[in-house]
Chains A and B, each alone.
Chain A
Amino acid sequence: MNAPLFQAKDYKSELKPIWCPGCGDFGVLQGLYRALSAIGRPPHEVAFISGIGCSSRIPGYTTAYGFNTVHGRSLPIAQGVKLANPELLVVIAGGDGDGFSIGGGHVAHAVRRNIDLTYLVMDNQVYGLTKGQLSPTSPKGLETVTSPLGSLEDPINPLLYMLAYGAGFVAQATPADMPGMSALIEEAIRYPGFSFVNIQSPCVTFGEDEQQLKAHKGKMKTLASLGHDSTNQLAAMDLARAYGKELYTGVFYKNPNPPPTYESLVKLRQAEQSKKARARHQILEAYLQK
C-alpha cells in the first residue's frame, strides 16, 4: 500500500490541550488525527469550527485552519464557511450543551440543508468548562451544582433527534474503542452530506464512574454485532431509543442514496445564472426607468 500523504501527527499542533488529564477528549482528538490522515487532505484545506466548551477547544489543537467561535453557533458559522468555499473539508466539533442546548435551534436547519459538513459532538452529559452544571443530555435525577436535589427533566436523545430531522449519516462512538471511533469519524467525513457522530467522551472531573472509558469498554456493543442494517432508518430509530441506557457504537443510519448537497445545487445555480451577470460598472443600469 502507498504511504499516506499526511500522518496523524501532521495534524497535531504545538498547542498543549488544557483538558484535565484523563479527559475523554484526548482520545477523540487522537481519533480525529487518524481519520484525517486516512482521508489525506492537507491541513490547510481543512477548517475546524467549534463553539464554546471544553471540546470546542479542539480547533486549536490541530494544524488546520480553526475557528473557535461563540457558544452554540458553530453550525451556522460552519455553514457560512462551507458555502463560501465548498472545496474545504469542514468539521464541526462541540459539546452536548453547545449543540443541543444553547445551539439546539440550529441543528434541524443544518440537517435539512444537507451541506457537506461533519458534526462531532463530544457528549459528556455535563457542563465541564463552567464546572459541572446540568446539561441537556444529563440523565434524569442527576445531582449537579444546578440540580443539587437531582434533575427533574428527561435528557435529549441526540441520536433520535438527528434521525428524526432526517440526517443522512448518524453514528455513535467512544474513544474507548479508538480504531472503531476513528473509522467512524472517517466514514462520517467521507459521507457526501451532513453527517453526525455522537461521541461519548467522558468528563473525568465531573462525570460519574459509570460514564468513564473503563465502563465503556465493558458496556459498549457494536451495532454490527447486533446485526443492524445501517440503511434501515426505522431500525436505526428503534435502536437509538436506547440512548442513555445502552452504549451502541457504529453507524445507526447511512443514507444509501445520498441526495445532492446544498452546495452542489448552489454551484449549478451559479453556473446557470452567471450568464446574466452584468459588468461591475453596469450593475446600476438595471434600475434605469425606460
Chain B
Amino acid sequence: MTRQQQTPSIDFTILTLKDALDLAVLIEEEARDRYEELSAQLVLHRTPGAAAFFAKMVRIEELHRKQLIEQRHKAFGDAPVGVRREMIFDVEAPGYDEVRMNMTTRQALETALKSEEKAHAFFVSVLHNVQNPEVRKLFEELRDEEVEHQELVKAELAKLPPGDPLERFDVGDGPAPQ
C-alpha cells in the first residue's frame, strides 16, 4: 500500500469562493444525510413522530443544497470540486448522540434547533479566519440564514401543544437480549 496524505483539514485563510460554495453544499448534504439516517433509526425503533420531523428536515436540507448547487454552477460551471465531505463533520448535522428511542416530536425539533445554532456558531467561528471578501460575503449570508432557520424551527415549536410532562421518562420495553 502506498502511503498517502491523510485527509487534509481546511485552511480558511486561503479558501476560494469555489471551494467555499462546494463546502457549503457539502454541509447541507451532510445534514441531509444525517437527518435521513436518524429518521431511519427512529423508524426502525418505532418513534414515528420524531422520525417524520427528521424526514421533513431531509427535504429542507436537500432544498438548501440544491439552491447552493445552482449558485455554484452559475459561478463556476462544472469546474472540479476541490473539497471533500471528509473535511467536515457535524457542521449542521445533529450528532448521533442527539437521538433516543421514543423521543418526542418536540425533542426532535429541539435537536434541529440545536443543530442550526451549531451551524451558526461554525460560520461565526470560521469567519475570523476568512480573508477572501467574496467568501466572507457568502459565509455571512449563510450565517444569517442559520438565524432564519432557527426562527422557523422556533415557530414550529410554538405551534406544538405544550410539552408532555412525562417527556423525560423512557417507558418503553427494554432492549431484546440477543
Contacts and interface: CB of A to CB of B under 8 A. Distances in A.
A8 interface: yes
Contacts of B175: 20, 128, 131, 205
Interface string A1-13: 1011001110000
Interface size class of B (residues with CB under 8 A): 35 or more
B47 A178 contact: no
A190 B1 contact: yes
B44 A22 contact: no
Nearest to A19: B41
Contact of B96 (A3, A26, A205): A26
Interface string A171-205: 00001001100110011001010000000001011
A254 to B, nearest CB: 13
B136 to A, nearest CB: 24
Interface in B1-46: 1, 3-4, 6-9, 33, 37-38, 40-42, 44-45
Given A1-B82, A20-B45, A186 B6 contact: yes
Contact of B47 (A21, A26, A41, A214): A21
Contacts of B33: 9
Interface stretch (A32-40, A94-102, A265-273): A32-40
A23 interface: yes
B117 interface: no
Given A3-B80, A16-B40, A183-B6, 19 more contacts: A4-B84, A16-B41, A17-B41, A20-B100, A21-B38, A21-B41, A21-B99, A39-B4, A89-B1, A129-B177, A179-B9, A186-B7, A187-B6, A190-B3, A192-B1, A204-B97, A205-B175, A213-B96, A213-B97
Contacts of B37: 26
A30 interface: yes
Contacts of B9: 179
B85 interface: yes
Interface of A: 1, 3-4, 7-9, 16-24, 26-27, 30, 34, 37-41, 89, 128-131, 175, 178-179, 182-183, 186-187, 190, 192, 202, 204-205, 212-214
A2 to B, nearest CB: 9
B44 A182 contact: no
A39 B175 CA distance: 36
A30 to B, nearest CB: 7
Contacts of A1: 8, 82
A7 B42 contact: no
Interface in B84-124: 84-86, 89-90, 95-101, 103
B89 A178 contact: yes
Interface string B58-94: 0000000000000000000000111011100110000
A277 to B, nearest CB: 29
A3 B82 CA distance: 8
Interface string B130-141: 000000000000
4 tightest Cβ-Cβ pairs between the two chains A and B: A178-B89, A26-B96, A21-B99, A213-B97
Given A3-B80, A38-B6, A205-B175, A22 B85 contact: no
Contacts of A4: 84, 86
A204 B95 CA distance: 13
